[in-house]
Amino acid sequence: MAFSFYKYQGTGNDFVIIDNRRELFFKNDTKLIKLLCDRKFGIGADGLLLLQNHPEHDFTMVYYNADGNKSSMCGNGGRCIVHFARYLGLISESATFEAVDGLHHATLQDDVVSLQMNEVRQIEAAESYTFLDTGSPHHVQWVENLSEFDVFSEGRKIRYDRYGAAGANVNFVEQLSENTVAVRTYERGVEDETLSCGTGVTAVALAAHQRGKATGNSVRLQTRGGNLTVRFKKSGNAYVDIFLEGPATLVFKGEWL
Protein backbone atom coordinates (compact mmCIF):
# COMPACT_ATOMS: atom_id res chain seq x y z
CA MET A 1 0.00 0.00 0.00
CA ALA A 2 1.31 3.44 -0.94
CA PHE A 3 1.34 6.16 1.71
CA SER A 4 2.88 9.55 2.41
CA PHE A 5 5.57 10.00 5.04
CA TYR A 6 7.49 12.90 6.52
CA LYS A 7 11.13 12.86 7.56
CA TYR A 8 11.92 14.90 10.69
CA GLN A 9 14.98 15.48 12.80
CA GLY A 10 15.50 16.99 16.24
CA THR A 11 19.20 17.68 16.89
CA GLY A 12 20.09 14.83 14.57
CA ASN A 13 17.71 12.30 16.14
CA ASP A 14 15.71 11.45 13.01
CA PHE A 15 12.25 10.01 12.51
CA VAL A 16 9.78 8.87 9.90
CA ILE A 17 6.39 10.39 10.81
CA ILE A 18 3.08 9.25 9.34
CA ASP A 19 -0.31 10.91 9.66
CA ASN A 20 -2.38 7.91 10.74
CA ARG A 21 -5.59 9.65 11.74
CA ARG A 22 -7.51 7.44 9.28
CA GLU A 23 -5.91 4.30 10.80
CA LEU A 24 -4.70 3.00 7.42
CA PHE A 25 -1.09 2.23 8.32
CA PHE A 26 -0.14 -1.37 9.11
CA LYS A 27 1.04 -0.53 12.61
CA ASN A 28 1.48 -4.15 13.69
CA ASP A 29 3.78 -4.92 10.76
CA THR A 30 7.13 -5.03 12.56
CA LYS A 31 9.02 -5.97 9.39
CA LEU A 32 7.62 -2.99 7.46
CA ILE A 33 8.45 -0.53 10.23
CA LYS A 34 11.98 -1.93 10.48
CA LEU A 35 12.35 -1.62 6.70
CA LEU A 36 11.16 1.99 6.70
CA CYS A 37 13.81 2.84 9.31
CA ASP A 38 16.59 0.96 7.50
CA ARG A 39 19.22 3.41 6.23
CA LYS A 40 20.24 1.28 3.23
CA PHE A 41 17.01 -0.34 2.05
CA GLY A 42 14.40 2.05 3.43
CA ILE A 43 13.97 5.72 4.30
CA GLY A 44 16.36 5.68 7.23
CA ALA A 45 15.53 6.79 10.77
CA ASP A 46 16.13 6.19 14.47
CA GLY A 47 12.43 5.46 14.84
CA LEU A 48 8.92 5.80 13.42
CA LEU A 49 6.11 7.95 14.80
CA LEU A 50 2.39 7.69 14.11
CA LEU A 51 0.14 10.68 14.71
CA GLN A 52 -3.35 9.39 15.57
CA ASN A 53 -6.64 10.83 16.77
CA HIS A 54 -7.39 11.24 20.46
CA PRO A 55 -10.96 11.56 21.79
CA GLU A 56 -10.17 14.48 24.11
CA HIS A 57 -6.76 15.94 23.28
CA ASP A 58 -4.97 17.17 20.18
CA PHE A 59 -3.57 13.80 19.11
CA THR A 60 -1.98 10.52 20.17
CA MET A 61 1.68 9.72 19.56
CA VAL A 62 2.69 6.11 18.91
CA TYR A 63 6.44 5.44 18.78
CA TYR A 64 8.40 2.52 17.33
CA ASN A 65 12.13 1.95 17.61
CA ALA A 66 14.18 1.30 14.48
CA ASP A 67 13.93 -2.44 15.21
CA GLY A 68 10.20 -2.24 14.47
CA ASN A 69 8.97 -2.69 18.03
CA LYS A 70 6.87 -0.30 20.09
CA SER A 71 8.96 1.54 22.62
CA SER A 72 8.83 3.80 25.63
CA MET A 73 8.68 7.60 25.46
CA CYS A 74 10.87 9.43 22.95
CA GLY A 75 11.55 13.06 23.88
CA ASN A 76 12.97 14.28 20.58
CA GLY A 77 10.24 12.37 18.77
CA GLY A 78 7.69 14.12 20.94
CA ARG A 79 9.12 17.50 19.97
CA CYS A 80 9.11 16.56 16.28
CA ILE A 81 5.53 15.28 16.27
CA VAL A 82 4.33 18.51 17.90
CA HIS A 83 5.98 20.45 15.07
CA PHE A 84 4.33 18.06 12.59
CA ALA A 85 0.92 18.62 14.19
CA ARG A 86 1.33 22.35 13.55
CA TYR A 87 2.36 21.59 9.95
CA LEU A 88 -0.93 19.66 9.56
CA GLY A 89 -2.89 22.56 11.04
CA LEU A 90 -4.04 20.61 14.10
CA ILE A 91 -2.50 23.08 16.56
CA SER A 92 -1.01 26.57 16.52
CA GLU A 93 1.32 27.46 19.41
CA SER A 94 0.58 24.75 21.98
CA ALA A 95 -0.45 21.11 22.18
CA THR A 96 -1.62 18.43 24.57
CA PHE A 97 -1.12 14.86 23.42
CA GLU A 98 -1.01 11.35 24.81
CA ALA A 99 2.07 9.13 24.56
CA VAL A 100 2.86 5.75 26.03
CA ASP A 101 3.79 7.33 29.38
CA GLY A 102 0.73 9.59 29.65
CA LEU A 103 -0.17 13.17 28.72
CA HIS A 104 2.36 15.74 27.57
CA HIS A 105 2.03 19.48 27.03
CA ALA A 106 4.17 21.45 24.60
CA THR A 107 4.58 24.95 23.21
CA LEU A 108 6.12 26.12 19.94
CA GLN A 109 7.94 29.30 19.05
CA ASP A 110 9.10 29.29 15.43
CA ASP A 111 10.88 25.92 15.13
CA VAL A 112 11.78 25.54 18.82
CA VAL A 113 9.60 23.12 20.77
CA SER A 114 9.37 23.05 24.56
CA LEU A 115 8.02 19.68 25.69
CA GLN A 116 6.91 18.98 29.24
CA MET A 117 8.20 15.66 30.50
CA ASN A 118 6.76 13.59 33.32
CA GLU A 119 7.84 14.07 36.93
CA VAL A 120 10.75 11.98 38.18
CA ARG A 121 10.50 10.76 41.77
CA GLN A 122 13.04 7.94 41.90
CA ILE A 123 16.75 8.28 41.15
CA GLU A 124 19.22 5.50 41.87
CA ALA A 125 22.65 7.00 42.58
CA ALA A 126 25.41 4.39 42.62
CA GLU A 127 29.10 5.21 43.02
CA SER A 128 29.92 5.11 39.32
CA TYR A 129 26.58 5.86 37.67
CA THR A 130 23.05 7.18 38.07
CA PHE A 131 19.91 5.37 36.93
CA LEU A 132 16.51 6.99 36.41
CA ASP A 133 13.43 6.79 34.20
CA THR A 134 12.42 9.91 32.25
CA GLY A 135 9.80 8.12 30.17
CA SER A 136 12.51 5.67 29.13
CA PRO A 137 15.11 4.02 31.42
CA HIS A 138 18.54 5.69 31.41
CA HIS A 139 21.97 4.87 32.77
CA VAL A 140 24.12 8.01 33.19
CA GLN A 141 27.88 7.71 33.61
CA TRP A 142 30.54 10.45 33.74
CA VAL A 143 33.69 9.85 31.70
CA GLU A 144 36.77 11.72 30.52
CA ASN A 145 37.68 12.46 26.88
CA LEU A 146 34.12 11.85 25.73
CA SER A 147 34.96 12.65 22.11
CA GLU A 148 37.31 9.66 22.02
CA PHE A 149 35.16 7.32 24.13
CA ASP A 150 33.97 4.00 22.62
CA VAL A 151 30.26 4.64 23.11
CA PHE A 152 29.13 1.73 20.94
CA SER A 153 31.11 -1.02 22.65
CA GLU A 154 30.82 0.28 26.22
CA GLY A 155 27.18 1.27 25.80
CA ARG A 156 26.21 -2.08 24.32
CA LYS A 157 27.98 -3.91 27.15
CA ILE A 158 26.14 -1.95 29.86
CA ARG A 159 22.82 -2.10 28.00
CA TYR A 160 22.87 -5.94 27.95
CA ASP A 161 25.12 -7.06 30.81
CA ARG A 162 23.74 -4.76 33.50
CA TYR A 163 20.12 -4.41 32.39
CA GLY A 164 19.38 -7.71 30.64
CA ALA A 165 17.02 -8.34 27.75
CA ALA A 166 14.78 -5.34 28.50
CA GLY A 167 17.86 -3.13 28.51
CA ALA A 168 18.31 0.57 29.15
CA ASN A 169 19.66 3.52 27.24
CA VAL A 170 23.23 4.39 28.22
CA ASN A 171 24.50 7.97 28.40
CA PHE A 172 28.15 8.91 28.73
CA VAL A 173 28.71 12.45 29.99
CA GLU A 174 31.55 14.93 30.31
CA GLN A 175 31.31 18.14 32.33
CA LEU A 176 32.07 21.25 30.26
CA SER A 177 31.12 23.95 32.77
CA GLU A 178 28.93 24.33 35.84
CA ASN A 179 25.61 23.97 34.01
CA THR A 180 26.76 22.64 30.64
CA VAL A 181 27.54 19.01 29.85
CA ALA A 182 28.36 17.02 26.72
CA VAL A 183 26.37 13.81 26.15
CA ARG A 184 26.70 10.79 23.90
CA THR A 185 24.01 8.09 24.03
CA TYR A 186 23.72 4.43 23.08
CA GLU A 187 20.01 3.75 22.48
CA ARG A 188 18.34 0.38 22.92
CA GLY A 189 16.06 -0.52 20.00
CA VAL A 190 18.34 1.41 17.67
CA GLU A 191 21.23 -0.61 19.12
CA ASP A 192 23.72 2.05 18.22
CA GLU A 193 24.80 5.55 19.18
CA THR A 194 22.36 8.25 18.08
CA LEU A 195 23.24 11.88 17.50
CA SER A 196 20.86 12.95 20.26
CA CYS A 197 18.35 11.47 22.71
CA GLY A 198 15.65 13.63 24.33
CA THR A 199 14.80 11.44 27.30
CA GLY A 200 18.55 10.85 27.63
CA VAL A 201 19.55 14.50 27.97
CA THR A 202 16.62 14.96 30.36
CA ALA A 203 18.01 12.14 32.50
CA VAL A 204 21.51 13.61 32.31
CA ALA A 205 20.33 17.06 33.42
CA LEU A 206 18.51 15.65 36.46
CA ALA A 207 21.40 13.33 37.32
CA ALA A 208 23.83 16.25 37.10
CA HIS A 209 21.70 18.31 39.47
CA GLN A 210 21.15 15.40 41.85
CA ARG A 211 24.91 14.82 42.09
CA GLY A 212 25.69 18.53 42.55
CA LYS A 213 27.39 18.83 39.17
CA ALA A 214 24.79 21.39 38.06
CA THR A 215 23.61 24.07 40.46
CA GLY A 216 20.94 25.87 38.44
CA ASN A 217 17.45 24.81 37.37
CA SER A 218 18.45 24.86 33.71
CA VAL A 219 21.12 22.65 32.14
CA ARG A 220 22.52 23.00 28.63
CA LEU A 221 23.24 19.70 26.89
CA GLN A 222 25.63 19.45 23.96
CA THR A 223 24.98 16.41 21.78
CA ARG A 224 26.63 15.41 18.53
CA GLY A 225 23.49 16.61 16.73
CA GLY A 226 23.13 19.98 18.43
CA ASN A 227 22.22 21.70 21.68
CA LEU A 228 19.24 21.11 23.94
CA THR A 229 18.12 22.71 27.21
CA VAL A 230 16.38 21.00 30.11
CA ARG A 231 14.57 23.13 32.70
CA PHE A 232 13.13 21.75 35.94
CA LYS A 233 12.21 22.39 39.56
CA LYS A 234 13.14 20.38 42.64
CA SER A 235 10.25 19.59 44.97
CA GLY A 236 11.36 17.52 47.96
CA ASN A 237 12.94 14.41 46.49
CA ALA A 238 11.13 14.83 43.18
CA TYR A 239 11.86 16.74 39.99
CA VAL A 240 8.80 18.49 38.56
CA ASP A 241 7.94 20.98 35.81
CA ILE A 242 10.54 19.36 33.57
CA PHE A 243 10.82 20.82 30.06
CA LEU A 244 12.92 19.59 27.16
CA GLU A 245 13.62 22.43 24.72
CA GLY A 246 15.22 22.46 21.30
CA PRO A 247 14.68 22.66 17.54
CA ALA A 248 12.58 20.35 15.38
CA THR A 249 12.95 20.35 11.61
CA LEU A 250 10.90 18.93 8.74
CA VAL A 251 13.52 17.57 6.33
CA PHE A 252 11.36 16.29 3.47
CA LYS A 253 8.07 14.68 2.48
CA GLY A 254 7.95 11.49 0.41
CA GLU A 255 5.80 8.65 -0.90
CA TRP A 256 6.32 4.99 -0.04
CA LEU A 257 5.16 2.99 -3.06
Integer Cα distance of 114 and 118 in angstroms: 13
Report whether 65 contacts 71 (CB < 8 A): yes
Concatenated DSSP letters for 142-162? Answer: E-SSGGG--HHHHHHHIIIII
The single residue of 61, 74, 181, 230 carrying the catalytic annotation is 74
Rounded Cα distance, 29 and 48, in Å: 12
197 is catalytic: yes
**From the candidates 197, 204, 221, 230, which is the catalytic residue?**
197
155 close to 118: Cβ distance less than 8 angstroms: no
* Other Cβ atoms within 10 Å of 172 Cβ, number: 24
Antiparallel, parallel or unpaired: β 218-223 and 180-187: parallel
Q: Catalytic residue at 37?
A: no
Other beta carbons within 10 angstroms of residue 145's beta carbon come to 7
| Residues recognised as catalytic | 74, 197
